[in-house]
Structure 1
C-alpha cells in the first residue's frame, strides 16, 4: 500500500508538459498563422488549462486583442510589483476593459517577503535580481499554480537574448506559448493601426520597453529596444524569462 501511495504521488507531481511536447508543437504549428494557432489551442488542447500573462507594456495590446477575439474569459494575469508606472496601471484598466476580458487577476509580492527582504523598498538599487525575484518571480509562481500552460508576449526582435525565440518552450513543467515570437516591429505597428488599439502613453516618450519605474529609462534612437531596462547592470531579463530559456525573452 505504501508503494502504491508513493506511485500515486509521483503521478500527481509529474509535469504536465515536457520538452518533447514543446518540440512536437513547434513542428505542428510551423508556418501556421498566429490566429489559427491560438484559436485551435484555446478551444481544444489548452482550454481551461492556460492563462495569459501580460505586463501591459508597449506592445501588449496586440496579443491581448488576438486572444480576446477567441476567448474573453481566459484568466489574464498581471503582476503588480508595487513599483509599476502609474501610466501602466491606467493602461491596464483601459485595455482590459476595452477588450472585454472578464477574469483579470492581479498578483502582488508577499508582504512578509517584502518586510523580511526589502523593508526599505530600495532593493532594486543594489540587487535588482533579488528585487525581481521578490516582486515578479515568486508572485508569478503563485499565479500560475492552477495552470498547465501560460501565454507570454515575448517577441524575438526585442533584444539579442530573444533572437531565436521559439513559439513553444517548457518552463518549470509548464508549457510556455510565445505566439508573437516571429512578429516584427513593423507587423505589430500595422496591427495597432488596423485595429485602432490604444498605445501605452509612455511609448511616445521614448520607452519602447516598459517595466518597473526605478529600472526603466528612455531609449535613444538606434539603441536596442530593451536598452532602457536595468541600464548600467549586467541584466537583461527579470527572471520570469531568463536568457537560458532561449535557445541561443
Structure 2
C-alpha cells in the first residue's frame, strides 16, 4: 500500500509539473496559491536581500498567505527590522516567526558556539527542525531560490517534489538578476540595509560575510567551509541524517 501511494504521489506530481512547466512569477504563484494548494501552502522567507520581490508577488495574490520566518537567534538586527518594514509595506497579515525549541537548543548548543565547530549541526537544530515543525499541515511551500545565485542551484526547476511528499514551488527560479533588480525599481521596494555594505546573501551573523566583486551572491555564506546550504533545501532524508 505504501508503494502504491508513493507511485500515485509521483504520478500526481508529474501531472502538476507538466501543467505549469515554463511558468514563473505570478503566473506560477497564483494557481499554486488559489487552486492547487488552496490554504495548504506557505511561503518560507529569510527576509534577505532579494526576498521583497517574492513577498510582493505573493501579497498581491493573497496578503494572508502564511509566511514562515526562521529566527535562529543569531540573525542580524538589520534583518529583523527589515522583516518588520516589509510586513508593513506589503500588508502581510500572517508572518509566523519560528524559533528553535529552547530545550533542544540548550541540549545541542549550550554555549551558543556550535556554529564554530559543527555548522551543519547548528543549522539543523536552529533551522531545519523548526521548519519541519512549522510546515506540518501544509502540502507545499514556496521558496525564493534562483538559478543565478550559485552553481549548486543552476538546474533548479519551478516545481520540485521532496521525498517527504511536499511540493516546493520556486517561482523565481528562472529569473535573472537584472529582472529581480527591475522589479525592485518598478515596485519601489526597500532594500535590505546590509546590501549596500556588500552582503548579498544574508543568513546568520556568524556565518555571513561580504561578497567580493564578481563572486556569486552566496559565496559569503560559510566562507572557507565546504558548505553551501543550511539544509532546509536538502532532501528530507539528508536533513534528518544530520546529527544534533
The TM-score, its normalising length taken from structure 1, stands at: 0.89
Is the 2:24–2:174 contact (alpha carbons within 8 Å) kept by the matching residues of 1? no
Quote the offset at 1:34 in angstroms. 2.2
Of residues 58, 78, 100, the one that matches 1:87 is 78
In structure 2, runs of 5+ residues without a counterpart are 238-244
- Which consecutive aligned stretches of 4+ in structure 1 deviate over 6 angstroms post-superposition? none
Residue 126 (1) aligns with residue 117 (2)? yes
Cα RMSD after superposing both structures: 2.0
What does residue 168 of structure 1 align with? 159
Counterparts of 1:155 and 1:193, CA distance in 2: 19
Residue 191 (1) aligns with residue 183 (2)? yes
TM-aligned CA distance change 1:158 to 1:20, over 3 Å: farther
Q: Deviations over 1:79-125 (max 9, x none)?
A: 00000000000000000111011111111011111111100000001
In structure 1, runs of 5+ residues without a counterpart are 1-6
Residue 240 (1) aligns with residue 215 (2)? no
What does residue 69 of structure 2 align with? 78
TM-aligned CA distance change 1:113 to 1:182, over 3 Å: same
TM-aligned CA distance change 1:32 to 1:169, over 3 Å: closer
What does residue 45 of structure 1 align with? 36
More helix by share: 2
Counterparts of 2:45 and 2:23, CA distance in 1: 23
In the alignment of these two chains, the number of paired residues is 234
Counterparts of 2:188 and 2:156, CA distance in 1: 27
Q: Which has the higher mean CA deviation after the structures are superposed, 22-31 or 141-150? A: 22-31
